[in-house]
Chains A and B, each alone.
Chain A
Amino acid sequence: MLEFLWTSFVEPLSQQSFQKALIGGSLVATVCAVVGCYIILRRMAFLGDALSHAMLAGVVAGYLLMHLIFDVEAHALAMFVGSIIAGVITVLLIGFVSQVTRIKEDTAIGIMYTGIFAFGGILASYFSDRIHLDLYHFVTGMVLGVNDSKLWLMAIVAALVLSVVILFFRQLQITSFDPIMAASIGIPVVLFDYLLTICTSLVVVSAVQLVGVILVVGLLVTPAATAYLICDRLHRMQILAAVFGVTGVTGGLYVSTWIGNIATGPSIVLVITLQFVVVLLVAPRYGLIADWLRRTRLVPQRVIEDIMRSLLKADPAPLSIEKIIEYVEATSDQIHKSLRKLTLQDLISNGGGQLALTDKGRQESRKILRAHRLWETYLSHVGTPEEQLHGRAHNLEHLHDEETVDYLDDKLGHPLVDPHGAAIPEDFVHLVPGTVVKSAILREGRSGTIESVPDELERKLQVGSRVTAGPRRDNGRTWTFVLESGEEITLDHHGADAVEVRLDEE
Chain B
Amino acid sequence: MDQITNRTIPAVEVENLTVSYGPQPALLDISFDVPQGTLVGIIGPNGSGKSTLIKAILGFKKPDVGEVRLFGESVERARGRVAYVPQHGSVDWEFPVTVREVALMGRYGNVPWWRDLSAEDKLCADEALEMVRMSEFAKRQIGQLSGGQRQRVFMARAMAQGADILLLDEPFAGVDAATERAILDVLRRTKEAGRTLLVVHHDLATAAEYFDRLILLKQKLYAYGPPHAVLHQELLSAVYEGRLRIFQDLPSAEDFHA
Q: What is the interface of chain A, defined by CB distance below 8 A to chain B?
A: 41, 167-168, 170-171, 173-174, 176-178, 180-187, 228, 231-234, 236-237, 402-403
- A185-B79, A231-B96, A233-B96 known; A403+B177 contact, CB < 8 A: yes
Given A184-B84, A185-B79, also A232-B113 (CB < 8 A): no
Distance in Å: Cβ of A39 to nearest Cβ of chain B: 14
B interface size (C-beta, 8 A): 30
Q: Which of B96, B98, B178 contacts A402 (CB 8 A)?
A: B178
Closest to A37 in B: B96
**CB contact between A186 and one of B98, B105, B109, B178 (< 8 Å): that residue:** B109
| B141 contacts chain A at the CB level, 8 A cutoff | yes
* B240 part of interface (Cβ distance < 8 Å): no
CB contact between A41 and one of B80, B90, B95, B177 (< 8 Å): that residue: B95
Query: Which single member of B82, B97, B117 contacts A184 (CB below 8 Å)?
Result: B82
Q: A177-B97, A237-B96 are in contact. Are A186 and B113 (CB under 8 A)?
A: no
A231 CB contacts on chain B under 8 angstroms: 96
A181 touches B84 (CB 8 A): yes
A438 to B132, CA, bound (A): 24
Docked-complex contact B109 and A185, CB < 8 angstroms: yes
B96 close to A184 (CB less than 8 A)? no
Chain B, 65-109, CB within 8 A of any chain A CB: 79-80, 82-84, 86, 90-92, 95-98, 101, 105, 108-109
Q: Which residue of B lies closest to A232 (CB)?
A: B141
Q: Can you name 25 A-B residue pairings with CB atoms under 8 Å?
A: A41-B92, A41-B95, A171-B113, A174-B105, A181-B84, A182-B108, A183-B58, A183-B60, A184-B58, A184-B60, A184-B79, A184-B83, A184-B84, A186-B79, A187-B108, A231-B96, A232-B141, A233-B97, A233-B101, A233-B141, A234-B95, A234-B96, A402-B178, A403-B176, A403-B177
Residue of B84, B96, B177 with most chain A CB atoms under a 10 A cut-off: B96
Residue of B83, B86, B97, B111 contacting most chain A CB atoms (<10 Å):
B97
Q: Write the nearest CB–CB distance from A406 to chain B, whole angstroms.
A: 8
Closest to B101 in A: A233
A167 engages B96 (CB within 8 Å): no
B176 nearest in chain A by CB position: A403
Interfacial residues of chain B within 94-139, with CB under 8 A of chain A in the complex = 95-98, 101, 105, 108-109, 111, 113-114, 117
B161 in the interface, Cβ–Cβ < 8 Å?
Answer: yes
A174-B105, A228-B96, A403-B177 given. 5 additional CB < 8 A pairs?
A: A180-B58, A184-B59, A184-B82, A185-B108, A403-B176
Known A184-B79, A186-B109, A234-B96: A178·B178 in contact at CB below 8 Å? no
- Residue of chain A at shortest CB distance from B117: A170
Inter-chain contact total with CB atoms closer than 8 Å: 76
Q: Which residues of B contact A233 (CB under 8 A)?
A: 96-98, 101, 141
Question: B154-173: which residues lie under 8 A (CB-CB) from chain A?
Answer: 157, 161
Question: Cβ of B97: which chain A residues have Cβ within 8 Å of it?
Answer: 173, 177, 232-234
Chain A: minimal CB distance from B105 (Å): 5
Contacting residues, chain A, for B176 (C-beta < 8 A) = 403
In the complex the two chains form, what is the Cα distance from A167 to B112 in whole Å?
A: 11
Task: Indicate if the CB atoms of B96 and A178 lie closer than 8 Å.
Answer: no
A182 to chain B: closest residue by CB: B108
Q: How far is the CA of A178 from the CA of B101 in the complex (A)?
A: 13
Contact for B114 among A167, A176, A187, CB less than 8 A: A167
Q: A173–B83 Cα gap in the complex (Å)?
A: 18
Closest 5 CB pairs of A and B: A185-B109, A232-B141, A403-B177, A234-B96, A184-B84
Q: What residue of chain A has the Cβ atom nearest to residue B157's Cβ?
A: A181
Given the complex of chains A and B, what is the CA–CA distance between A178 and B84 in angstroms? 10
Question: Which residue on A lies nearest to B144, using beta carbons?
Answer: A232
A403 to B175, CA, bound (A): 12
A173: chain B residues within 8 A (beta carbon): 97, 105
Q: Which residues of B contact A168 (CB under 8 A)?
A: 113
* Chain B residues within 8 Å of A177, by CB: 92, 95, 97, 105
**Cβ of A187 and Cβ of B109 under 8 Å apart?**
yes
CB of A470 to closest CB in B, whole Å: 29
Q: Are B83 and A167 in contact (CB under 8 A)?
A: no
Measured between beta carbons, the chain A residues less than 8 angstroms from B86 are: 178, 180-181
Is the CB–CB distance between A170 and B84 below 8 Å?
no
Q: Which residue of A lies closest to B110 (CB)?
A: A185
What's the least CB distance linking B168 to chain A, in Å? 12
How far apart sit A403 and B79, CA to CA, in the bound complex (Å)?
41
Q: A41-B95, A233-B101, A237-B96 are in contact. Are A180 and B84 (CB under 8 A)?
A: yes
Question: Inside 8 A of B109's CB, which chain A residues have their CB?
Answer: 185-187
Q: Which residues of A contact B113 (CB under 8 A)?
A: 167-168, 170-171
A329 CA / B101 CA spacing, docked (Å): 47
The residues of B that contact A228 with a CB separation of less than 8 Å are 96
Name which residue of chain B comes closest to A178, CB basis.
Answer: B86
Q: How far is the CA of A228 from the CA of B97 in the complex (A)?
A: 11
